[in-house]
């Protein structure tokens, strides 16, 4: 179902008493977020139901996908004051259209089993065109079927297909990252042994593909770790379902498999944190120590007796791209074991600040550096 719907001006919503799931105003809840000195977080947009992946156009229109809402949005900050005035629903009724990507004026959107393309989208925000079906051959399974998509430096569209289970040895095309030409032709595998990635990006210097991967459930509180991985050669295998976190054989599928036969993570992340979208920080607003470092949105755990995640983490890298540390950058979306917000994706703004989508609060925040 396709239609365009303009929501109420967000300036009016923000000035009112919008409540978060915690029962407080969202502004009040944001005051709980702990950041390094000199950083601040503000509301960029609200009323973006189930906001998931983001893509920013050169003109400043923010496109946002969703999962449970089934909507695709355009978020507009026309006066560049870092508070969006409009949220437009470009399409609705789609099957978990979480992934959005831009190329040559067209918006690409991933539903579970297909890739759609909306041509000349910015010239038609108030009356979006019917989508062109780019590819419709992906599996229909919803378990890990949502697809974070992005165009790589090779001008190909990268599309993950998650495992249709918690743990199983599923046949192709599952548990892999694929790529295709912009018209949907020449589908080919890039990496296998990938359980469920909802975040892919390219190193700004080497051009190598990096991705987050969510580890399996039901092995206890502290294993396996989520992973941050790097593809150095097309076709590499990253272990699932045989080896987790680079060194942990699966109790069911790991027999007869050696960790050395698979690519180990660049960095093990927290167990069950649900690491999703990430960015190599390329702006100049943050202090120099953050340039080129990896910021990761951690959606938060469910398979754990004590919750973890619900934060933005930071992986520091050396000049060769090796991980030096894994630490918390922004924390506070959980209070007394109850989460009031869940970060999903990150996106640069031209001024060097970072946007954060939150699918629980239907909101997008802006983290910026004020100095001091």
Dihedral angle computed from the Cα positions of residues 128, 134, 138 and 144, in that order, rounded to the nearest 10 degrees: -40
* Sign of the dihedral defined by the CA atoms of residues 218, 223, 228, 232, in that order: negative
What is the tally of structural domains in the chain? 1
Please tell me the predicted confidence (pLDDT) of residue 13.
36
Over residues 271-289, the mean pLDDT reads: 98
Please tell me the predicted confidence (pLDDT) of residue 24.
73
Over residues 317-342, the mean pLDDT reads: 95
Query: Is 74 a residue whose pLDDT tops 60?
Result: yes
Which CATH number fits the domain that encloses residue 147? Answer: 2.120.10.30
Residues 217, 258, 164: CA angle, nearest 5 degrees: 35
The tokens describing 10, both together, are 């967000």
Write out pLDDT tens, residues 243-262: 999 999 999 999 999 999 99
Query: Is 361 a residue whose pLDDT tops 90?
Result: yes
Write out pLDDT tens, residues 104-134: 999 999 999 999 999 999 999 999 999 999 9
Q: Which H, E and C letters describe the chain, residue by residue?
A: CCCCEECCCHHHHHHCCCECCCCCEHHHHHCCCECCCCEEEEEEECCCCCEEEEEECCCCCEEEEECCCCCEEEEECCCCCCCCCEEEEEECCCCCCCEEEEECCEEEEECCCCEEEECCHHHHCCCCCCCEEEECCCCCCCCCCCCCCEECCCCCEEEEECCCCCCCCCCCCCCEEEEECCCCCCCEEEEECCCCCCCEEECCCCCCEEEEECCCCCCCCCCCEEEEEEECCCCEECCCCCEECCCEECCCCCCCCCHHHCCCCCEEEEECCCEEEEEECCCCCCCHHHCCCEEEEECCCCCCCCCCCCEEEEEEECCCCCEEEEEEEEECCEECCEECCCEEEEEECCCCCEEEEECCCCEEEEEEECCC
- The whole-angstrom separation of Cα 136 and Cα 133 is 7
Q: How confident is the model at residue 2 (pLDDT cuts 50, 70, 90)?
A: low
- Its domain, for residue 316, covers 5-369
Please tell me the predicted confidence (pLDDT) of residue 275.
98
Q: Which H, E and C letters describe 307-359, residue by residue?
A: CCCCEEEEEEECCCCCEEEEEEEEECCEECCEECCCEEEEEECCCCCEEEEEC
Residues 6+ apart with CB under 8 A from 214: 195, 196, 197, 198, 226, 274, 275
* Sign of the dihedral defined by the CA atoms of residues 76, 109, 198, 218, in that order: positive
Dihedral angle computed from the Cα positions of residues 310, 64, 210 and 175, in that order, rounded to the nearest 10 degrees: 90
Residue the block writes with tokens 């007869």: 256
Percent of the chain with pLDDT over 90: 91
């Amino acid at each position: 179902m396709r239609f365009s719907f303009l929501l109420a001006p967000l300036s009016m919503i923000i000035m009112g008493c919008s409540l978060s799931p915690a029962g407080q105003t969202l502004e009040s809840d944001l005051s709980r977020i702990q950041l390094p000195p000199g950083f601040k977080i503000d509301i960029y947009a609200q009323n973006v139901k189930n906001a998931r992946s983001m893509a920013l156009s050169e003109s400043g229109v923010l496109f946002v996908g969703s999962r449970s809402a089934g909507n695709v949005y355009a978020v507009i900050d026309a006066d560049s004051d870092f508070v969006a005035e409009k949220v437009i629903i470009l399409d609705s009724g789609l099957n978990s259209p979480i992934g959005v990507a831009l190329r040559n004026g067209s918006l690409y959107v991933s539903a579970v089993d297909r890739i759609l393309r909306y041509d000349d989208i910015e010239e038609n925000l108030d009356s979006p065109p019917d989508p062109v079906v780019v590819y419709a051959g992906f599996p229909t399974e919803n378990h890990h079927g949502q697809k974070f998509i992005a165009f790589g430096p090779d001008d190909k569209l990268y599309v993950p297909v998650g495992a249709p289970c918690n743990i199983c040895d599923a046949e192709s095309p599952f548990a892999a990252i694929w790529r295709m030409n912009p018209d949907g032709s020449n589908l080919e595998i890039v990496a296998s042994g990938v359980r469920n990635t909802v975040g892919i990006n390219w190193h700004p210097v080497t051009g190598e593909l990096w991705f987050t991967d969510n580890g399996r459930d039901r092995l206890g509180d502290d294993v396996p770790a989520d992973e941050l991985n790097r593809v150095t050669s097309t076709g590499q295998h990253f272990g699932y379902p045989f080896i987790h976190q680079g060194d942990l054989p699966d109790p069911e599928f790991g027999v007869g498999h050696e960790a050395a036969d698979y690519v180990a993570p660049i960095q093990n992340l927290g167990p069950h944190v649900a690491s999703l979208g990430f960015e190599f920080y390329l702006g100049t607003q943050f202090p120099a120590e953050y340039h080129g470092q990896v910021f990761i949105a951690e959606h938060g755990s469910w398979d754990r007796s004590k919750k973890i995640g619900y934060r933005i983490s930071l992986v520091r890298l050396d000049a060769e791209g090796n991980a030096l540390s894994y630490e918390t950058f922004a924390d506070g979306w959980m209070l007394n074991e109850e989460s009031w917000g869940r970060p999903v994706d990150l996106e640069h703004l031209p001024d060097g600040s970072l946007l954060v989508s939150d699918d629980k609060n239907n909101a997008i925040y802006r983290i910026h550096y004020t100095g001091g």
